[in-house]
A and B are shown apart, each in its own frame.
Chain A
Amino acid sequence: MQPDLPAFGDRGEEMRTDIFLAGVGGQGILSFARVLGVLGLMRKMNVVIGETHGMAQRGGSVTATVRYGDVYGSIIGIGKADLLVGFEPLEAARYARILSPKGTAIVSTSPIVPYSISATRGKYPETQDLIGILRNRGNMVIAFDANEIAEKVKFILTANSALLGAVASTGKIDAQLEDFRSAIKKTVPRKAKENLAAFDLGYEIGRKVAEEQKITDSGKKK
């Protein structure tokens, strides 16, 4: 009467990649995690996603995790995330401690001012300072306004695809560019064209940042 449970980690001895997502309720963070989940499924990698539901979703800060490879639970340890994707700069900085010193942060720079700042007559921090927090923590920061890209491709809901493009550019996920593209087609079939266009633009930005960093790094060594 008790079927054998499938052995844990059967899929699991491959490389581990930990991705932490942070933003504001309503920014499509769970959908983003699902695209990465579909990607893992397609690549036959073990994948675990941690989601936030319930009270925190009401305009509060929302996080999710996506983990590939030899993993069991959904929580990423402090300083262990290979990638931190910030859908909003303040939320990205809030979780900077999760980022590994070798990790890359990808941040959309358009701020969403929390209501509490207005209510307390406070001030939203300078975006550059928020990005600075991430720079101090990780190895590389790819910061750009994903909404601006979405406007370029004339469909505002593609901002997250631009971020996904930047994620793909880091090469930290064991998948080909085409895998990312088919994951997008699978998850947003109706607006695939616009989303793929935004994805490509995000990819280009990510690639450029990485190249610039390479030049700076080699300059430092000399």
Chain B
Amino acid sequence: MRTILQGKAGSDILLLGNEAIARGALESEIAIATTYPGTPASEIGDSIARVAPDVGVYFEYSVNEKVALEVAIGASLAGLRAITSMKHVGVNVAADALLSLSYMGIDGGLVLVTADDPSCHSSQNEQDNRYYSRIASLPLLEPSNPQECYEMVKIAFELSEKLSLPVIIRETTRIAHMAGIVKVGEIKKNSRTGMFDRERQYILLPAVARRKHAELLQKMDVARRISESSELNKIFQIGKKSKWGIITSSAGFNYAMEVCKDIPLDIEILKIGFSHPLPEQKIASFLKDKDKVLVVEELEPLLENDVRTIKEREGLKTEILGKATGHFSALYEYTPDIVQSAVECVFLGKRPEAERIPASAPDLPVRPPIMCPGCPHSATYYAVKIATKGRAIFPNDIGCYSLGAVAPYKMGDTMLCMGSSIGIAEGLSKSLEDPIIAFIGDSTFYHGGMPALANAVHGGHKMMVIILDNGTTAMTGHQPHPGSNVNAFGESAPALHLEKVIEGFGIDIVRVVDPYDFKNTVNAITEELEQKALSIIIARRACALLEMAERGKILGRRRTIDQEKCKKCGSCIDGLGCPAISRQDNIYSINEILCIGCGVCNQICPHSAIGVKK
């Protein structure tokens, strides 16, 4: 297996941006690494998890991002180095800790990696987490490629200890999931012993907090001076000296370089890698001898607005172009085509070509993501559909099971953020007469669902919560969670007992059903619906992918359709929605490569047309 430990010091190895971050951390004497998995950040934690015991690092998949950050803070306050990584919306969960942490300060180097997702490839929004560096007042580094991911982590740890502040590294999907050649150094094991200095005040009582805020401003002044002289903010000259310039960061830099070299243009590109605090003097002197400067940054015009402010303050005549002049959009990730269009428009006076905007594909059938063959969630959703006849409101949540919102189930009326299905269900249940059924996965329940359930009990809300318990965090790559009996390294670990947790809330009857036992699942849901109380159903069945990986084979005997018995009613496709079953020219058949033998289809076929393949 490929690991981030490969490659002797000085050698070139091929690493994903996320793997490069992990490698950089392992060369920085980290003692602790934490995360809650989330695309596009997951591979940082996963690749550290694979090697942590060998390099003496404590690693955990924490219950959520806030706890992940807090565990890392604990290590830092003991003088050890720690890294925590999460997807952009995960920082929202951790924000309560983060925004006061900048006041509190730290001891051992502490790095927080946020992986943003412009274009929402795997996310519910495309928020720009560079804002967190402003609102928390923390240094921010932005890599553009795997080599920089690796370098910037090492720089971030040094910077963090110099300033006694956590440092944020912000990558985007394109950087996180871009592999490239990285020249690596030596893995360095933690050599420090934990020590906690009780004389240092890590308590943010108002009197302390007021003083600490002033200290924070001083620290950021030091950070500003470091940013001014940092090599991470660097000018790349293409062609001859010119009065044209581009100021850019992150993935935008990559496209700007390629486009300007390909055209080719005589232009200077100022790459901002240390983007908060900004190197304002460096930017001012860059602007001074330019007629026109285009700002290339994905999402919000943070850099652009700051560049305009600097220009005004310096009384410069330089024309600043970007989002405010309509050359770029704050929507979605950029591509070389989008950047080329803007560059040609600004510097060569060409009209933007419609052809360049990612043209939609020819009119072909789509292939959206779907639930896997044998997925227990498919059976649960179909059972709920039969029990309710689809007549209920279905708040849904974040995970593979979010796909329950689309056809054929159409049981996702809301999907907002981790754990939100239960809280939203509570408000709906107080506002409507309709039955309310919230869906939530096991990992998501532990992450953010538990406080909402406590609220549901105390508030006397009448609704149903179905916990889709597949024993893992499936969507992001099967990471364990507090309900798993193994830890990140596959060692046995204490598991929370889901029924007992829920009973502890004062809910006496918790129904546990096996979605592969279809009839009983339908019956249990039907009975609970009649209760008109707060009822909890745990639909428990291991993720089929994980189960197959563990067994090393498919789950049962493959199924086949008896064409004489098949009445073409569509239950298997339009109801259960198993992707191993196809319908071409009204002939139903089971793809024997895709079928894993879960045996649900033969239970739901009203004409007994599906049987074991002989």
| Interface positions of A (Cβ within 8 A of B) | 1-6, 8-9, 11, 24-25, 33-34, 37-38, 40-41, 46-61, 70-78, 80, 90-91, 93-97, 113-119, 121-125, 130, 133
Contacts and interface: CB of A to CB of B under 8 A. Distances in A.
Given A50-B174, A58-B372, A75-B336, A118 B573 contact: yes
B178 interface: yes
B584 A78 contact: no
The range of chain B's interface size is: 35 or more
Contacts of A52: 121, 177
B367 A122 contact: no
Interface string B298-315: 000000000000000000
Contact of B362 (A60, A124, A133): A133
A180 B346 CA distance: 43
A58 B371 contact: yes
B376 interface: no
Determine the main DSSP class of B at the interface with A: mixed
B179 A78 contact: no
Max chain A CB contacts within 10 Å: which of B39, B162, B234, B361?
Answer: B361
A53 B43 contact: yes
A58 B400 contact: yes
Determine the main DSSP class of A at the interface with B: loop
Contact of A2 (B174, B178, B232, B579): B232
A59 B408 contact: no
A43 to B, nearest CB: 11
Contacts, number: 196
Given A55-B39, A124-B584, A11 B181 contact: yes
B494 interface: no
B105 interface: no
Contacts of B503: none
Contact of A51 (B178, B257, B368, B403): B178
A73 B209 CA distance: 43
A96 B14 contact: no
Nearest to A96: B362
Interface string B164-194: 0000000000100111110100000000000
Contacts of A1: 155, 158-159, 162
Contact of A61 (B258, B367, B407, B476): B367
B574 A119 contact: yes
Nearest to B13: A41
B42 A53 contact: yes
Given A2-B231, A56-B121, A25 B369 contact: yes
Interface in B555-597: 573-574, 577, 579, 581-586
A95 B370 contact: no
A3 B157 CA distance: 13
Contact of A47 (B122, B181, B273): B181
Interface stretch (B66-74, B248-256, B385-393, B440-448): B248-256
Contact of B12 (A9, A41, A58, A70): A41
A116 B367 contact: yes
Nearest to A122: B365
B181 A55 contact: no
A56 B178 contact: no
A133 B574 CA distance: 31
A116 B258 contact: no
A4 B336 contact: no
Contacts of A2: 155, 158, 230-232
Interface string B347-362: 0000000011011011
A117 B365 contact: yes
Contact of B364 (A47, A94, A119): A94
Nearest to A57: B369
A157 to B, nearest CB: 12
The 9 A-B pairs of least Cβ separation, nearest first, read: A73-B254, A54-B39, A54-B122, A60-B369, A72-B254, A49-B179, A115-B579, A114-B367, A58-B369
Given A78-B359, A114-B367, A118-B583, A6 B183 contact: yes
B144 A72 contact: yes
Contact of A37 (B14, B257, B586): B14
Contacts of A119: 407-408, 573-574, 577, 583
Given A114-B365, A122-B365, 4 more contacts: A59-B372, A72-B254, A77-B340, A113-B584
